[in-house]
Each structure stands twice: as structure tokens, then as C-alpha cells.
């Protein structure tokens, strides 16, 4: 596997995950048959994901309180 491909797979996986693409689809795109490999090595929690989680919680809390 080329160095370029090694560098691009995690970035591509994160872009897809940030855009709510299902894990199975990401696995297919990067050529994995095991979700553990995709989750543990290629997909990471990004700042955008953290920000979105905070926004969702803020919206829910505003409805409650």
C-alpha cells in the first residue's frame, strides 16, 4: 500500500463519518471487512464531531429547561 493511500484513508474515513455515512459504507469504501479496524485505526473523533455533539446537547437542554 502506498504512503499516499495510507495518509488518505484516515482522512477519507473521517470525512465520511463526519457526514454521517454509515460505518458499513465507510468499511466498504476503504476495503475493510472488520469494523474494529475501521473504528480503531481509521476513524477518529474530530473537532466537528465534538462541536456537533455539544450543539445537540444544547438544543435538548434548552427544551428541557
Residue 58 is part of which domain span?
Answer: 3-64
Give the model confidence (pLDDT) of 31-51 as tens digits: 899 888 888 887 888 899 999
Cα 49 to chain centroid distance, Å, stands at 8
Q: What is the pLDDT of residue 1?
A: 54
Read off the pLDDT band of 8 (50, 70, 90). Answer: confident
Number of structural domains (the chain) is 1
Calpha distance 57→10 (Å, rounded): 27
Q: Contacts from 38-45 at CB under 8 Å and sequence distance 24+?
A: 38/13, 41/10, 42/9, 42/10, 42/13, 42/14, 43/10, 43/13, 43/14, 43/17, 44/10, 44/14
Amino acid at each position: 500500500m502506498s504512503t499516499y493511500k495510507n495518509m488518505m484513508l484516515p482522512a477519507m474515513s473521517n470525512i465520511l463519518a463526519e457526514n454521517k455515512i454509515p460505518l458499513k459504507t465507510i468499511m466498504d469504501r476503504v476495503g475493510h471487512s472488520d469494523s474494529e479496524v475501521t473504528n480503531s485505526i481509521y476513524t477518529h473523533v474530530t473537532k466537528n464531531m465534538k462541536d456537533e455533539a455539544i450543539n445537540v446537547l444544547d438544543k435538548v437542554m434548552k427544551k428541557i429547561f
